[in-house]
Amino acid sequence: MKSKGLILLVGLVSVTPAFAQDLSSIYSSSVFQQGVIGMGKPTLEAGQKAYTSNASQNAQNNASARISLNAMTKVLQYKSSSTISQSVRTDLRTHLIRTNSSPEFQAEITKALSTDAIWQEFDRLLTSYGYSSRNLADVMAAYYVCGWEIVHKQEIQPQQFKAIRNQLAVTMANSPDIRRLSDAEKQRTAEAMGIMTAIAGVGSQELLKQRNQQGFAELQQAVYRSFSKQGIDLKQLKLTDDGFVMG
């Protein structure tokens, strides 16, 4: 799913060899482990708890899936605010610069997050496939898929992404914790995850293009550790046409 849109993102983040090598620190940095996850901790905890408990089931066979999926996912949508968008970028930029002393890395992060260009391109990417950056299930699906693709060094097919998105949508829409989230909480979670997913996705492609096997292996390990801390073992997740299945 990623190639068409993420190629456009490369122009927004100048992925030099040194910057690409530092990508592993993005995933393992405190902003991602505490800041990004902390921005929407109720969303991630509730969504992942529901996700892991239902990962071995086809979402279409879930009893709650008898309700129209479109109607169900309305509770996952949110109205965005430019003020919150700016706050998210500022928080990410501040924390990432604080956790990495490389002048080149700091310059690239500052450039990349000085505007909402990355988020807007991420939004266009989801829209081009019929999804929305203003829907938590769509954004979280992109987040999981990007992580899975990096760890497994494999791209998924559009129908598989749809199955994963529906799998997450059913479980998240039925989570009381997620249903109680405000628009602001949904937006901070979605935008932080989307921006980090886009940067990691671009970086992984560039590392492979540069044949930087060491850098890519470090990124794989960083992504794997990040998801492990959230209770998700990406190496044990098997991909089927019905979504993810725990191995």
Q: pLDDT digits over 102-128, tens only? A: 888 788 888 888 888 889 888 988 998
Q: What is the sign, positive or negative, of the torsion defined by CA atoms of 124, 125, 128, 131?
A: negative
Query: Highest mean pLDDT: which of 32-41, 80-89, 177-186, 217-226?
Result: 80-89
Residue 110 and residue 92 in contact, taking contact as beta carbons nearer than 8 Å: no
C-beta separation of 5 from 125 below 8 A: yes
Which pLDDT band holds residue 40 (cuts at 50, 70, 90)?
very low
pLDDT score at 16: 53
Confidence of residue 152 (pLDDT cuts 50, 70, 90): very high
Question: Could you report the per-residue pLDDT of 228-245, keeping only the tens digit for each?
Answer: 877 788 898 888 888 887
Contact criterion met (CB below 8 Å) for 144 and 226: no
- pLDDT, tens digit (0-9, with 9 covering 90-100), for 205-223: 888 888 989 888 988 888 8
Residue 170 predicted with pLDDT over 60: yes
- Residue scoring higher pLDDT (133 or 11): 133
d(CA 247, CA 234): 10
pLDDT at residue 52 greater than cutoff 70: no
d(CA 176, CA 48): 13
Other residues' Cβ atoms within 10 Å of the Cβ of residue 2? 21
